[in-house]
Structure 1
Amino acid sequence: RLTDGQGRTVDFRNTVIVMTSNLGSSVIQEMAADDDYEAMKKAVMEIVGQHFRPEFINRVDDVVVFHPLKQSEIRAIAEIQLSHLRERLAEREMRLTLSEQALDLIAAEGFDPVYGARPLKRVIQHEIENPLAQALLAGKFNPGDTVNIEVEDNELVFKELTLH
C-alpha cells in the first residue's frame, strides 16, 4: 500500500515502477564505442552507488543501462513527434512534408549527448510548430495546402508544395 500526501491509499501490488536517471551518462558516452555492455553497466552502477543509499538500491529489482541513441534513432523519434503535428494539421485539411535535410537538421538540433532525445520536442515546437502557427495566423497557408519544410542557408523554410 502507498499513501499520498492527501491521505489517499493505493494498492501497490502487481505494480511496476520505471525510474529513469541521467546518472552515469558521461560514462555511457565515453564507453559507447567499446561495445562492452557489462563494463559500461559496472561503471554506471558505481556512480549510482555513490549517489543513492544502499538501502534504496537493494529495493530495486533490476537496473537497465541503455546505450546512447544513434542518429537514425533520433530521426525516428523526430518522425514520431512530427506525426502528432501531422494529425493536428489533418484536422485542418492540411498536410506537412519535410525534406531529408530538414529532418536531419531537426534531429541534430534536438539531440544532446547527455539528455538524449528529450530536447527534441522543444526543438520541434520552437523551430516548426511556432513558426508554422504564425504562418497560419498570417494566412500564408490554407485548408487543402501541403506545407513543405526545406533547408536554405542552414535554416528551415516553409513553402507551399504545389503538385503539377
Structure 2
Amino acid sequence: EFLNRIDDTVLFSPLSLEEIEQIVDLLMARLSARLEERGIELRTTAAARTFLAREGYDPVYGARPLQRFIQHEVETALARRVLAGEIPDGSVVVIDDQGGKLAFDVMPPAPKAEPEPAQG
C-alpha cells in the first residue's frame, strides 16, 4: 500500500566541501551563541572548519553525523575545560587544526584596570 503512494524518487547528490563548511559555520555559530552567555568568545580557524567538515561528514548519511561529531569533539572538550576552570568567563577560545587534532587556544580575559584615585 505504502509503495503505491510513492510517485517519484528523489536523488540527493553528496554535498561539496564548501557546503559542508557552511553547515559547520551554522553549528559553530549556535555553540558560540550559547558560550556568549558566559562571556566566552569562540573563534574557529579556516583549518579547523575544514577539519570538522572532512571528519564529521559522511556521504552516506549526509550532514547528520556532523552535529554529533561537533558535540563530541568540540562541545564536550569545551565543557570539560570550563568545568575545570581552564576557560574562565570572558575568555576568547580559538579552535584550530594542528596535525589532524583540534587545538583549543584559550586567551583569558584581560585584567580590568583599576580606576586611579582622584587627586586633589
Could you state the TM-score of these two structures normalised by the residue count of structure 2?
0.82
Q: Which amino acid aligns with 1:157?
A: A
For the pair 1:142 / 2:83, whether they are aligned, the reply is: no
After TM superposition, give the deviation of residue 114 of structure 1 in Å.
0.9
Amino acid at match of 2:12: F
Name the counterpart of 2:19. Answer: 73
> Which has the higher relative contact order, 1 or 2, with Cα contacts under 8 A spaced 6 or more apart?
2
SS of equivalent to 2:42: strand
Specify which of 19, 23, 32 is matched with residue 86 of structure 1.
Answer: 32
Q: Give the Cα–Cα distance (whole angstroms) in 1 for the partners of residues 35 and 108 of structure 2.
A: 17
TM-aligned CA deviation for residue 60 of structure 1? 2.7
Partner of 1:29: none
Q: Find the structure with the greater CA-based Rg.
A: 1
Secondary structure at 2:88's aligned position in 1? coil
Give the structure-1-normalised TM-score. Answer: 0.61
**What CA deviation, in whole Å up to 9, does each residue of 1:32-52 have, x standing for no partner?**
xxxxxxxxxxxxxxxxxxxxx
Across the aligned residues of Structure 1 and Structure 2, the Cα RMSD in angstroms comes to 2.0
Matched to 1:155, the amino acid is K
Identity %: 44
Q: Partners in 1 of 2:34 and 2:7 — Cα distance? A: 40
Q: Aligned residue for 1:32?
A: none
Quote the offset at 1:102 in angstroms: 0.6
What is the match of residue 115 of structure 2?
none
Q: CA deviation at 1:162?
A: 7.0
> Size of the alignment, in residue pairs?
110
What 5-or-longer segments of structure 2 have no aligned partner? 110-120
Q: Where in structure 1 do 4 or more consecutive aligned residues deviate above 3 Å?
A: none
Cα deviation, residue 88, structure 1: 0.6
Name the aligned partner's letter for residue 18 of structure 2: S
Which of 92, 98, 110 is residue 152 of structure 1 equivalent to? 98
SS of aligned partner of 2:96: strand
Q: Equivalent residues in 2 for 1:7-156 (5 A)?
A: 55-156=1-102
